């Protein structure tokens, strides 16, 4: 019987195939701008092309020509190219050379860092890199050791969920309480999703099955920022009715328009309504905009963050760190780990028992965890603070460029103030017509597939009715001023065609 392990890595085979893969990725990035940014695939196209049964015999190294040919022929056409310079649809999802190499290394090492003891370097590199990020973005001291601390979550959605369960633990402990959470009408859908997962509410409108409102969507002001007076009234009403306000999620950079909730005023409301005294928790979600605060000129976005108990932003969106990497800090790790920690016998070990080490399994939903700090470390070392600032400033300048183009064209108007590199715009004129034209424009643009934008609706300041709004979310690492000019020329030409067709209908 052979004693060779069938699944082992043959280092030379890995070297050969690895070099081919790296070449493939390099070529992909060289030509990604020439591919149609939005996949042209229809539903089921790939499913029909793939065999229904798994391969019985492996192809081994010799079969990799075929694997790579299938990658080109079957997989690439089914991709929407998030790294394309003409991807402006959702908030970005930056890849970079150090980010990709960090992912490769993490896979190559194949470690799992659930406990400090299962790879001390994984935990300590994460602590150090998150502390570097806290310094770069000038976070309040309360989020840094020894009182607070940072951890990498998979997504901002997970960050909100863990913050919410920590808040519940702090406010209610084991006792029954009629808990209520608050966020703005413009907050991300992940907030109410977290509340549903945590069992705070059942429905997406923030109610329970028996009709109690346990997540309140607080109205916003004309700039789409959470209205502190409305928050104050909602909390006071709930306290008066015997309910227990326990969690507020404020947003720095909302998904629809990039609005920034007023943290100083929110902090004051929480202090004087009794929310704070009862242990209530403020979480701040800056999933996208937080990356910009590596630049001192954007750190004002976080004014008032000292009122928060937890804060998150996603380096995997706009800070050149490949998905997934959501940075999360809390000033109260004690309640977080009390809410999430479970220690069965098989996870006990000397280092944990002796104290003095952090086991990140207690800071997150899953037990197991990837070595994500490597890619963040590589990114921070490769670009340095200066390189990261240049990256953000480049995109903010492109946002200004696009904003000016919109302002100069009477056919269009801004639908909200530009936020960093996000420009929300719409066709000008009566609402119904402009909404219909906006939809037609987005459909026409995305049908061409060369430039990818997405939309939202924002309330009309006059009567709150929805206005259809195009979102130009600039942030792909490769986007240049030329790409923005080209995108604008195409948007304008299509809008003119749509407008002409609308006023002079053709058969």
Ligand X SMILES: Cc1ncc(COP(=O)(O)O)c(C=O)c1O
Among positions 106, 314, 322, 421, the unique one binding ligand X when judged by CB under 6 A:
314
Q: How far is the CB of 47 from ligand X (least distance, A)?
A: 25
Q: How many residues bind ligand X (CB under 6 A)?
A: 15
Residue number with CB closer to ligand X (256 or 435): 256
Per rule CB under 6 A, is residue 255 in the interface with ligand X? yes
Per rule CB under 6 A, is residue 323 in the interface with ligand X? no
Q: How far is the CB of 499 from ligand X (least distance, A)?
A: 31
Site for ligand X in 337-396 (CB under 6 A): none
User: Which of 108, 117, 112 lies closest to 371 in space, CA to CA?
Assistant: 112
Residue number with CB closer to ligand X (326 or 419): 326
CA–CA separation, 456 and 288 (whole Å): 16
Residue keyed to tokens 């306000």 = 245
Q: How far is the CB of 182 from ligand X (least distance, A)?
A: 16
Q: How far is the CB of 346 from ligand X (least distance, A)?
A: 31
Among positions 129, 322, 326, 479, the unique one binding ligand X when judged by CB under 6 A:
326
Per rule CB under 6 A, is residue 287 in the interface with ligand X? yes
For 283, the 3-state DSSP assignment is strand
Residue number with CB closer to ligand X (91 or 247): 91
Which span (7-15, 42-50, 252-260, 439-447) binds ligand X, by CB under 6 A?
252-260
The DSSP result for 134-197, as a single string, is HHHTT--GGGSTTT-EEEEES-HHHHHHHHHHHHHHHHHTTS---EEEEEETTS-HHHHHHHHH
Site for ligand X in 133-192 (CB under 6 A): 155-157, 188, 190
H or E segment and range at residue 412: strand 412-414
List Cβ neighbours of 398 (8 Å cut-off, separation of 6 or more): 421, 474, 479, 480, 481, 484
For 424, the 3-state DSSP assignment is strand
List Cβ neighbours of 320 (8 Å cut-off, separation of 6 or more): 94, 95, 96, 98, 99, 379, 383, 388, 391, 477
Per rule CB under 6 A, is residue 91 in the interface with ligand X? yes
Among positions 288, 311, 313, 402, the unique one binding ligand X when judged by CB under 6 A:
288
Per rule CB under 6 A, is residue 456 in the interface with ligand X? no
For 442, the 3-state DSSP assignment is helix
User: Which of 132, 217, 134 lies closest to 183 in space, CA to CA?
Assistant: 217
Q: How far is the CB of 219 from ligand X (least distance, A)?
A: 18
Residues at the contact surface with ligand X, assessed by CB under 6 A: 91, 155-157, 188, 190, 251, 253-255, 285, 287-288, 314, 326
């Amino acid at each position: 019987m052979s004693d060779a392990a069938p699944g082992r890595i043959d280092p030379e085979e890995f070297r050969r195939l690895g070099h081919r893969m790296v070449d493939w990725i390099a070529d992909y990035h060289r030509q990604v701008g020439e591919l149609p940014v939005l996949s042209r695939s229809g539903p089921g196209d790939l499913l029909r092309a793939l065999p229904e049964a798994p391969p019985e015999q492996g192809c081994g190294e010799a079969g990799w020509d075929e694997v790579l040919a299938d990658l080109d022929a079957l997989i690439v056409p089914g991709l929407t190219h998030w790294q394309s310079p003409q991807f402006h649809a959702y908030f970005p999802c930056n890849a970079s050379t150090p980010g990709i190499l960090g992912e490769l290394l993490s896979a190559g090492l194949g470690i799992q860092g659930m406990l400090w003891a299962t790879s001390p370097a994984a935990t300590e590199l994460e602590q150090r890199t998150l502390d570097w990020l806290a310094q770069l973005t000038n976070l309040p001291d309360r989020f840094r050791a020894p009182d607070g601390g940072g951890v990498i979550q998979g997504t901002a959605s997970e960050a909100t969920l863990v913050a919410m369960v920590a808040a519940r633990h702090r406010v209610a402990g084991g006792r029954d309480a009629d808990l209520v959470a608050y966020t703005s009408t413009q907050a991300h859908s992940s907030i109410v999703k977290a509340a549903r997962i945590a069992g705070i509410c059942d429905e997406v409108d923030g109610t329970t099955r028996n009709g109690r409102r346990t997540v309140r969507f607080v109205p916003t002001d004309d700039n789409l920022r959470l209205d502190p007076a409305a928050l104050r009234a909602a909390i006071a009403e709930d306290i008066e009715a015997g309910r227990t306000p326990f969690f507020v999620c404020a947003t720095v950079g909302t998904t629809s328009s990039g609005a920034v909730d007023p943290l100083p005023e929110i902090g004051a409301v929480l202090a004087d309504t009794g929310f704070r005294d009862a242990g209530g928790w403020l979480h701040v979600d800056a999933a996208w905009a937080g990356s910009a605060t590596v630049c001192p000129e954007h750190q004002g976005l976080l004014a008032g963050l000292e009122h928060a108990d937890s804060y998150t932003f996603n380096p995997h969106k706009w800070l050149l760190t490949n998905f997934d990497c959501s940075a999360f800090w809390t000033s109260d790790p004690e309640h977080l780990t009390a809410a999430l920690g479970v220690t069965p016998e098989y996870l006990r070990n000397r280092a944990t028992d002796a104290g003095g080490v952090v086991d990140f399994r207690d800071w997150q939903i899953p037990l197991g965890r990837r070595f994500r700090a490597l890619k963040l470390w590589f990114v921070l070392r490769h670009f340095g603070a200066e390189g990261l600032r240049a990256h953000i400033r480049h995109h903010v300048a492109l946002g200004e460029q696009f904003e000016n183009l919109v302002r100069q064209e009477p056919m269009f108007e801004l639908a909200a103030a530009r936020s960093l590199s996000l420009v929300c715009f719409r066709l000008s004129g009566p609402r119904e017509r402009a909404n219909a034209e906006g939809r037609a424009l987005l459909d026409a643009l995305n049908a061409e597939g060369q430039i990818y934008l997405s939309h939202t609706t924002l309330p009309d300041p006059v009567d709150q009715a929805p206005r259809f709004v195009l979102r130009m979310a600039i942030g792909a690492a490769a986007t240049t001023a030329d790409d923005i000019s080209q995108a604008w020329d195409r948007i304008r030409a299509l809008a003119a065609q749509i407008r002409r067709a609308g006023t002079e209908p053709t058969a």
